[in-house]
Structure formats: C-alpha cells, structure tokens
Chain A
C-alpha cells in the first residue's frame, strides 16, 4: 500500500515538475532558460523551444494521468485486500 501511494505521489510530483519545465521552455527564450536545460545557449537569443515545451507538458500530463488512475478505487481496493 505504501509503495503504491509513494509511486502515485512521485508520479504526481514529476508530472507537475515537467509541466513547469514545459511552461518555462515556452515562456522564456533559449538564452533565458536555466543553463542546465537542454537547448540553452549562452549568447543572447530570441528563439523559444516551443516543441521542447510541448513535449515536457505532454509527458507531465501522462505522469499526472498515471497518478490519477493509481489512486483510483480499484487500486485502493487491491491495496486494502
């Protein structure tokens, strides 16, 4: 039961983090994004990595959906049993 909840919580956190990363990619240009993000450039630029952002948001939504189903009634019933 603990493992199940832990997994769901982890998926939820990762999902939220990925959505935040996606928003950063879309909102900031490739120079202003954090330097550890793939696609960062050191010189001033105006290009936004929109595709990276959409990919991160999609993955984030997938993680949230996983967490949502993981805490659904069937999994709770199985955990209780």
Chain B
C-alpha cells in the first residue's frame, strides 16, 4: 500500500488522487470545494487532520493547480484584459468602448473586497466553522442560495433592461463579444458581486455559485455569469495559494510533496474538464440541479453526522 510518512502525516496516494479530483471539480461547480473537503473525508472515515500543516500544504498545491488551469483556459481573455488594464493606466481613463479595460477594472474592484475580507477573517472563520456539521448546514444553505439566485434572476434595478439589451446584442460565443457583454456591468454591481465571493469563506458556500447568483441577479445570462465567475475566481484562488506557498515549500510540506504533486495534477485535470463542461452546460441550463444536489447532500450529511 502506498502510504508515505509517519502516522502523524498520513496522506496516501489514493487519498491524494481523490482529494485532488474533488478539489478540481467542486472548486468550479457551484457546490463548494471547502464544504466537500470537510465533509467527504469524514464520510469516508479518513483520519485527516485538516488543521495540520501537511494538509494545508497539500491543499495549497491543489488550489494553485486549479488557478493555473483557470488562467490557461481563459488565457486569450486574460491577455486582452491585461492589455486593457495597461491601456487604461497609460491613458489615465477607461476609454468609452474599451470593453477589455472596463472588464479589467470590474475584476479589480470585484476582487479587492473579497481579498481583504479573506485576508483578515479567513483563519478565524475556518477555525470556527470548518467542522463537518457546520459544513453540512452551509452546504444546504448554499442550495437555498442557488434556488434564490434563479428565483431572483434579473430582479436588481435595471437588470431586466440590461438582460433585454444583451438578448438583442449578437450572441456570439467568441470571447471578445462575451467581454463586451460582461463590461456592461456597473462598478457598484461589480463590488457587490465581488464582495459576495467572501461568502465562500464559510465551508459549504460556493464561490462560483454565489458569484453566478449575483451576476444573474444583475441581469447576465447563465453563460456570461459563469464566465465572469471564473474570471473573478482566478486571481483570488491564485493569490490565496501563492500566499500560502511557503507552507508547501517549508517544513509543513515535508513528507507530502509527492502526494501534493499527484493531487495537483488530478485537480488540474479535473478543473480543465469541469470548466470546459460548465461553459457548455450554462449555454442552455440553470443552477437548479446544483441547488437540489446541495440541499439534499447537505441535509443527508447532517443527518449522518448527527445520528
């Protein structure tokens, strides 16, 4: 059996593969990666101490892989967005009609609040709520949030007009056209949607789900909401992983680096397949199946943990 490390540091290669695949899928599907990372090992009876440095180091690798895959998947978009950012800084204004520059700053103002909240409160929230029962409750709550997102779609002031306008606009799937549609968001809306990302600090609440819900609320289509959610998630997942990279490089990563590499490869592959699937899925489907799954999975897990 492929078990590496001492009794205190126990991640088998099988566990690395499962957790890596789980991370790659659940980070991008609107069903909460953190919630599943807390609930599933407990359901499988794995004795993993998720507060120990070795496990945190392992998670850094899987998150970094997910962020890299997201960045590569949307590489043409990121190149245009970064060029737009550079143009706007050079000209000291966002030129009218420069969708790339506007989208760049929408992503910046959307990332700052969630980044700040995460930096200041992530550790406290994790230590308070990162237990299987709380995660199961929040997973069920995530289901309700996704239901609400579908119910409240286009309910924000001006959202219905935007949605009608976007429906009249060319529905090309090429990313420059999609960026133009995303760039119709206002800065206040971007701050609101971005701040909502901080909800993902609660294990069980999905970053992708809550961001998509906010985007649907202000009038974006499901496909554009998914694209915006993935673009918004990339810098924050990447930055969080880079910030904790010393955990993996330092002594915390001793004995789990190879498992972390295996987990990261699995997470990356799963993330690539997931984002490809979801971008196609949301062309014609809604959040409702994920809402049903989260509600029932959360309640079922809660029943298992309580009784």
Tell me the bound Cα distance from A55 to B243 in angstroms. 12
Find out whether the CB atom of B93 lies under 8 angstroms from the CB atom of A74.
yes
Q: Which of A41-73 contact B (CB under 8 A)?
A: 51-52, 54-55, 58-59, 62, 65, 68-69, 71-73
Chain B residues closer than 8 Å to A73, beta-carbon distance: 91-93
Chain A residues closer than 8 Å to B243, beta-carbon distance: 51, 54
Contacts known (A54-B243, A58-B112, A62-B112); A69 close to B93, Cβ less than 8 A: yes
Find out whether the CB atom of A58 lies under 8 angstroms from the CB atom of B115.
yes
B297 to chain A, nearest CB (A): 32
User: Which single residue of chain B is at the shortest CB-CB distance from A74?
Assistant: B93
Q: Mark B51-95, 1 if CB is under 8 A from A, else 0.
A: 000000000000000000000000000000000000011011110
Chain B residues closer than 8 Å to A72, beta-carbon distance: 91-93
Find out whether the CB atom of B120 lies under 8 angstroms from the CB atom of A69.
no
Find out whether the CB atom of A51 lies under 8 angstroms from the CB atom of B112.
no
Q: Is B116 an interface residue (CB 8 A)?
A: yes
How large, as a class, is the contact surface on chain A?
10 to 19
Chain B residues closer than 8 Å to A69, beta-carbon distance: 88, 92-94
Chain A residues closer than 8 Å to B116, beta-carbon distance: 55, 58-59
Tell me the bound Cα distance from A61 to B115 in angstroms. 13
Q: Which of A1-54 contact B (CB under 8 A)?
A: 51-52, 54
Chain A residues closer than 8 Å to B120, beta-carbon distance: 51-52, 55
User: Which single residue of chain A is at the shortest CB-CB distance from B123?
Assistant: A51
Chain A residues closer than 8 Å to B94, beta-carbon distance: 69
Chain B residues closer than 8 Å to A71, beta-carbon distance: 92
Tell me the bound Cα distance from A62 to B110 in angstroms. 12
Tell me the bound Cα distance from A69 to B89 in angstroms. 8
Q: Is B273 an interface residue (CB 8 A)?
A: no
A54 to chain B, nearest CB (A): 6
Find out whether the CB atom of B92 lies under 8 angstroms from the CB atom of A51.
no
Q: Is B125 an interface residue (CB 8 A)?
A: no
Chain A residues closer than 8 Å to B91, beta-carbon distance: 72-73
Tell me the bound Cα distance from A55 to B119 in angstroms. 7
Tell me the bound Cα distance from A55 to B88 in angstroms. 24
B78 to chain A, nearest CB (A): 19
Chain A residues closer than 8 Å to B108, beta-carbon distance: 62, 65
A66 to chain B, nearest CB (A): 10
Q: Which of B102-124 contact A (CB under 8 A)?
A: 108, 112, 115-116, 119-120
Tell me the bound Cα distance from A62 to B120 in angstroms. 17
User: Which single residue of chain B is at the shortest CB-CB distance from A51?
Assistant: B119
Chain B residues closer than 8 Å to A54, beta-carbon distance: 119, 243
Question: Interface centre among A59, A69, A75, by most B CB within 10 Å?
Answer: A69
Counting from the closest, the 10 A-B pairs by CB-CB distance are A72-B92, A72-B93, A51-B119, A55-B119, A74-B93, A55-B116, A62-B112, A54-B119, A69-B92, A55-B120
Residues of A within 8 A of B (CB): 51-52, 54-55, 58-59, 62, 65, 68-69, 71-75
A-B contact pairs, 24 of them (CB 8 A): A51-B119, A52-B119, A52-B120, A54-B119, A54-B243, A55-B116, A55-B119, A55-B120, A58-B112, A58-B116, A58-B119, A62-B108, A62-B112, A65-B108, A68-B89, A68-B92, A69-B88, A69-B92, A72-B92, A72-B93, A73-B91, A73-B92, A73-B93, A74-B93
